[in-house]
Amino acid sequence: MRPPFGPGVGCYARPIASPKRSPAISSEAVSARPAGDAGPALARGGYRRWNIAWVAFLSTGLPTGIAGYAFGVFVAPLEAEFGWSRSEINFSLSLGLIASLLAFPVGSLIDRFGSRPVMFVSLMTTASGLLLSVYMQELWHLYLASVLIYAGQPGATALAVGRLIGLWFPRTRGRMMGLAMAGNNFGGITMVSLATIVVSLAGWRYAYLTFACLIGLLAVAVLVFISDRPAAEARKTASTGVSPPLRGMSVRQALRTPSFYLITAGLTATSFTFTAVLSQMIPHLTNEGFTAGNAASAVMTVAFFGFGSKLVFGRLSERIGARYAAVISLLIQSTGLVILVLAGGSQLAWLGVIVFGMGFGAVGALIPLNIGEAFGLKHFGSLLGIISLVGVIPVVLGPIMAGWIFERTGHYTLSFEITIVIFLFAAACMVFAQQIHRPDAADGGIAVPSTP
């Protein structure tokens, strides 16, 4: 006799329950569940976002460390082999302006296509510039390679990484942005050491080749690990075929708010910390009587405290907001500069260096955090690109101001005093920029699917 429930099924077999669709859960909720309670798909989502965080950390660190910090390692070898003057070699640094000029169009591409493809193309552009450096024989080869290296900077660093952190870590955005941007300090320390070792052992061409391989491998890691769709978005797309949109202001809406101009002015003025202070610290300290080694150690001290500063201020921004965290950072930097000015060549200058470093490091993390907090992620790349374009002002004026004042006074005191005033102006702009109320502010600018 044929069993009533079909072949091979006993008469006491239970009927199979109809499948139910699981409610969508945000990627932050996934990470909050204990490992034993999460299914394989949820666990993979949690792991993936940490892979994204570390790739973002390296993407901000390696290109910056190579193009900026490690540049000085190659000056003497290039001068010795080709006979180029220091001014001819240093002119390649001025081509870094191309990064600011490309920021807006690159940011628009990130808004349109996502961070992953733009990061990959940007890193490969940087790698091609480094590979070209291996074979350079003429001065224009150096300039062309520098253009390629700097052209890849905007799409591989803050523009793309700031958007990714906002997408994958909406509730811990501050501390994770601090971690990702701390890659700058990591790259500054490790790439200088690596370049020094390779140049001494094998020569400058092999150092460029090593850097090209590292950036190429990082580009591959971007393809493997980076995604612009967090777990919640991926599930929504799989079930409906429609990806939830990012939220936030359009460029036109942002430009209509007074706060955009105040924030732009504040963040632009803040950038004088790189061009009018950090780049002039070694000349200032040596002029005040420090040895070259001690002056270099002072800059390394700034980088060391800057690493921790990014983490601390990233966490602080989650509690009091990125605008007020920026104000505190500016006041701390101003205090450090006051101590440096008063200390002259005394040992008190070390206290000024430490205090300055405690506020200085936060800048790299707080710039993208302020944009995401105020205007959302929908047009994050375009808006940060506009502000980066305005950032050409401190890039040009900072060194010129410091050099002009030194030539006429014989010291950097007045330059630092003017920078203190600029910092106070920046702090005032951030204070008076009104909080922009957006309906999506609570979820970090991402339309997280609701439970049906």
Inter-residue contact 197 to 74 (CB < 8 Å): no
> Does residue 326 or residue 302 have the better pLDDT?
326
Residue keyed to tokens 């500069």: 337
Q: How confident is the model at residue 329, as a pLDDT?
A: 95
Predicted confidence (pLDDT) at residue 135 exceeds the cutoff of 80:
yes
Q: Residue 409: which residues within 8 A CB-CB, separation 6 or more?
A: none
Please report, rounded to a whole number, the percentage of residues in the chain having pLDDT higher than 90. 30
The model's pTM: 0.70
Q: Residue 284: which residues within 8 A CB-CB, separation 6 or more?
A: 340, 411, 412, 416
Strands, DSSP E only, in 69-207? none
Q: How confident is the model at residue 426, as a pLDDT?
A: 95
Q: How confident is the model at residue 443, as a pLDDT?
A: 45
Query: In the structure, what pLDDT confidence band is assigned to residue 235 with cuts at 50, 70 and 90?
Result: low
Q: How confident is the model at residue 436, as a pLDDT?
A: 63
Mean pLDDT of the chain: 80
Q: How confident is the model at residue 79, as a pLDDT?
A: 85
Q: How many CB atoms lie within 10 A of CB 36?
A: 6
Q: Residue 302: which residues within 8 A CB-CB, separation 6 or more?
A: 278, 281, 353, 356, 357, 360, 361
Where is 296: in which H helix or E strand? helix 292-320
C-alpha dist (Å) from residue 17 to 10, 14, 20, 451: 17, 9, 9, 21
What is d(CA 33, CA 93) in angstroms, rounded to the nearest whole number? Answer: 48
Q: What are phi and psi of 440, to 5 degrees?
A: -95, 5
Task: List the single range of 83-97, 122-136, 155-169, 275-289 with lowest mean pLDDT.
Answer: 83-97
On the 0-12 / 13-18 / 19+ scale of CB atoms within 10 A, 415 is buried
Q: Which residues of 359-386 are buried (b: 16+ CB within 10 A; e: fewer)?
A: bbbbbbbbbbbbbbbbbbbbbbbbbbbb
Q: How confident is the model at residue 22, as a pLDDT?
A: 41
Q: Give the three-class secondary structure for 98.
A: helix
Where is 358: in which H helix or E strand? helix 348-360
CATH 1.20.1250.20 applies to domain 44-234: yes
**129-138 contacts, C-beta under 8 A, 24 or more apart:** 130/66, 130/208, 130/209, 130/211, 130/212, 130/215, 131/208, 131/209, 131/212, 133/205, 133/208, 133/212, 134/205, 134/208, 134/209, 134/212, 135/205
CATH of the structural domain 245-444, one choice from 1.10.10.10, 3.40.640.10, 3.20.20.70, 1.20.1250.20:
1.20.1250.20
Q: What are phi and psi of 112, to 5 degrees?
A: -85, -45
Q: How confident is the model at residue 17, as a pLDDT?
A: 43
What DSSP string runs through 57-81? Answer: HHHHHHHHIIIIITHHHHHHHHHHH
C-alpha dist (Å) from residue 113 to 126, 245, 378, 439: 20, 13, 12, 24
Predicted confidence (pLDDT) at residue 161 exceeds the cutoff of 90:
no
Q: Residue 299 half-sphere exposure, CB side, CA atoms within 13 Å? A: 21
Determine the angle formed by the axes of helices 380-390 and 258-270, rounding to 10 degrees.
50
Q: How confident is the model at residue 12, as a pLDDT?
A: 38
Do domains 44-234 and 245-444 share one topology? The answer is yes
What is d(CA 124, CA 223) in angstroms, rounded to the nearest whole number? Answer: 12
Structure letter (DSSP) for residue 18: P
Inter-residue contact 383 to 254 (CB < 8 Å): yes
Q: Give the three-class secondary structure for 324.
A: helix
Predicted confidence (pLDDT) at residue 263 exceeds the cutoff of 90:
yes
- Per-residue pLDDT averaged across 429-438, rounded? 77
Q: What are phi and psi of 153, to 5 degrees?
A: -65, -50
Inter-residue contact 380 to 162 (CB < 8 Å): yes
Show me where the domains of the chain are located: 44-234, 245-444
What is d(CA 258, CA 88) in angstroms, rounded to the nearest whole number? Answer: 43
What is d(CA 136, CA 133) in angstroms, rounded to the nearest whole number? Answer: 5
What is d(CA 345, CA 351) in angstroms, rounded to the nearest whole number? Answer: 12
Residue type for position 441: A
